[in-house]
Amino acid sequence: MVLVAVAAVGAALLMAGAVGSRQRAANAVATQSGPLLVQADELYASLADADATAATTFLTGGQEPPARRRRYLQDLRSASARLSNLAREVGDSSDAGAAVSQIATLLPVYSGSIEAARANNRQGFPIGAAYLREASDVMRGRILPAAGRLYAFEAQKLGDSYKSGTSWNGIVAFGAGAVLILAVLIAIQVALARRMRRNLNIPMAVATVLLIGLAAWGLAAMATEQRALGDAQRKGSDSVEVLSAARILSLRAQADEGLALVARGGGGQNLAEFDLIMRRLRPDGGLLGEAARLAERAGSAEEGASTATAFASYRAAHGRVAALQDQGRYADAVRLAVAVPGSESARAARLDATLAAQVAAAQKRFERAASRATSALSGLRIAIILIVAVSALLALAGLQLRMNEYR
């Protein structure tokens, strides 16, 4: 009797504990790490887009085009909103909290410098370009790295949640618990059958059947959850991570191009960085190639083709603008970069939109798979506790029956 009780308690603990930890991990993926990664990614992208937009806004000189101004303000609003969401979730103490407060402190400094650039530019003063340079230095030297640290932190947490949601320990513990109680029950039934010469003890048999059913359900549920989390990662968040990195790098390249055009010959460093980023991104062997591979794995092979086309078109446009810059025809270079239809900035916008759409699609795949993972395990913990308790009572009742008969 004591043996049954001990085995029951032990099994319940093991199984419920295993399922509980899996469930927490799946919940973390679906409701915390996943969404927070999305917030951190969109914060990073908004800031990088603000940098790129501001750098190209003053190219045409004088008053900035209203559409660019609206886009810049939208970027700042979006960044502020994401920042306050993240601040709520992340708290103060960790590295992530430090990154959040650094961004919150520096963003007003950045926007202040941009407004000073704007005011001076309207009056035709060259100091406007100096304020723009200062703003860009703050953004690239301090704000964007902090956003990158935040993003890395959230991505790491997501990775940890995946690991604990798909680790061996859960299944082994569950299996061990099931084996424990089943072994005890079967051993007792067999021992009873030997002694009492009656093979079937109905309550204990029912208990055994219930437990076998529970074990099967539990293992199947954990298998589903594991597969769903695997899908969430392979078809969802992996693509989100790689595509977001590609998008942010392409925004940085756009800002480099803008700053080089503003510098009119003094932007050699920016152009060198542009080329470096293009090499990092290229569809054959670079980051976009990796994204295409992931898209194929997720069943959307055409995504890779469309980014490759957009990228090639952007690169070709840049080549033409760079050729004009080399010849010193800056006015023409600026016109080709921003003003004409099919301009470089139009193609950059198309590449950006393509990447953003693919990120959104990958996020949807992630959300679907993650919610499959959480729903697979729903109700299982309570079921374990109830069924093990019921089975233990049945087993005890069965034993009691035998004991009474014996007396």
- Closest to other proteins by CB, 168 vs 406, is 168
Compute the least distance from the CB of residue 226 to other proteins, in Å.
4
Q: Is 290 in the site for other proteins (CB under 8 A)?
A: yes
273 touches other proteins by CB under 8 A: yes
Taking the alpha carbons at both ends of the chain, their separation in whole angstroms is 17
Burial 14-49 (b: 16+ CB within 10 A, else e): bbbbbbebbbebbbbbbeebbbbbbbbbbbbbbbbb
Q: Which long-range contacts (CB under 8 A, 24 or more apart) does 60-68 make?
A: 60/334, 60/338, 60/339, 61/121, 62/121, 62/122, 62/124, 63/122, 64/118, 64/121
Instruction: Say whether residue 171 binds other proteins (CB under 8 A).
Output: yes
| Interaction residues for other proteins, span 18-37 (CB under 8 A) | none
Among the candidate windows 10-18, 78-86, 164-172, 386-394, which touches other proteins by CB under 8 A?
164-172
Which residue lies nearer to other proteins by CB, 290 or 352? Answer: 290
361-400 binders of other proteins (CB under 8 A): none
**Which residue, 166 or 306, has its beta carbon nearer to other proteins?**
166
Neighbouring C-beta atoms of residue 128, cutoff 10 Å: 21
Q: Choose, by CB under 8 A, the member of 18, 138, 178, 392 that binds other proteins.
A: 178
In this structure, the chain runs to a length of 407
The residue assigned the tokens 């006015």 is 331
Residues 92-121 that bind other proteins (CB under 8 A): 116, 120-121
Which helix (DSSP H) or strand (DSSP E) does residue 130 occupy?
helix 127-138
62 interacts with other proteins by CB under 8 A: yes
Please tell me the number of Cα atoms within 13 Å of 323 on its side-chain side.
8
Among 97-105, 270-278, 303-311, 387-395, the segment contacting other proteins (CB under 8 A): 270-278
Q: What residues numbered 301-330 form the site for other proteins, per CB under 8 A? A: 327-329
Is the distance from CB of 291 to CB of 307 less than 8 angstroms?
A: yes
What minimum distance in Å lies between the beta carbon of 67 and other proteins? 18
Encoded one letter per residue, x for contact with other proteins by CB under 8 A and - for no contact, window 196-215 reads: -------------------x
